[in-house]
Amino acid sequence: MIQDIDQILIARGAISDRVRELGEAITKNLEDVGEHEIALVAVMTGSLIFVADLMRHLPMKIQIQLMTASSYIGKSTKSNNDPMLGKLPEVKGMHVLLVDDILDSGKTLTRIRTELEQLQPRSIQSCVLLRKKLDSAMHVPCEYVGFDIEDEFVVGYGLDYDGYYRNLPDIGIISP
């Protein structure tokens, strides 16, 4: 598997450190919500590993809710125009922390936030592990960003190419 990776972009140690820092920032910002419930909404499948590590740094009462979204079809390295969303979680009256793996076109995160807002949560904040340095991504509201990266196709730490490489502990650049 590692032989398919052109370059390690972010090593596992740097990922671990940054996830801990994100957890500390989120904890500080959500510590005043009181008795209101917090829903961590994980966008599957890409955020699986990120969410598992991040929630260990959130020492508060939270619900984990999962939803699916897909903007890549098959072996494509470009997202399509209309992300497909699965069933939306129940978030009415809750503080929502929406967690996704990567923000590139911005279409998926924007659509999910718009759909979740219709469900009348108390608040919505977004957290992504990676954000590409693209105008489309940089203008999408996102309160917590792990790393800003160049426009490369990346795999590992939950991100995939055609369903593979999610188990790579680092984030690497691949040339499919």
Task: Write the DSSP string, 96-149.
Answer: EEEEEEEESSSHHHHHHHHHHHTT--SEEEEEEEEEESSHHHHTS--SEEEEEE
Q: What is the pLDDT along the chain (176 residues), one digit of tens a residue?
A: 667 899 999 999 999 999 999 999 999 998 877 667 899 999 998 999 999 999 999 998 999 999 988 765 555 555 556 777 777 788 999 999 999 999 998 999 999 999 999 999 999 999 999 999 999 999 999 999 999 999 999 999 999 998 999 999 999 999 87
Locate 107 and state its tokens: 């279409």
Return all residues near 37 (Cβ < 8 A) that are at least 6 apart: 61, 63, 93, 94, 95
Cα–Cα distance between 94 and 121 in angstroms, integer? 5
Q: Give the domains, in start order, of the chain with CATH numbers.
A: 12-69+80-150 (3.40.50.2020)
Contacts of 3 by beta carbon, 8 Å cutoff, 6+ apart: none
Q: In terms of Cα–Cα distance, which of 93, 111, 112 is closest to 39?
A: 93
Residue 75 falls in which region: left (phi positive, over 0), alpha (psi -120 to 50) or beta? alpha
Q: Which amino acid is at 43?
A: V
- Enumerate the active-site residues: 104
What is the reported pTM? 0.89
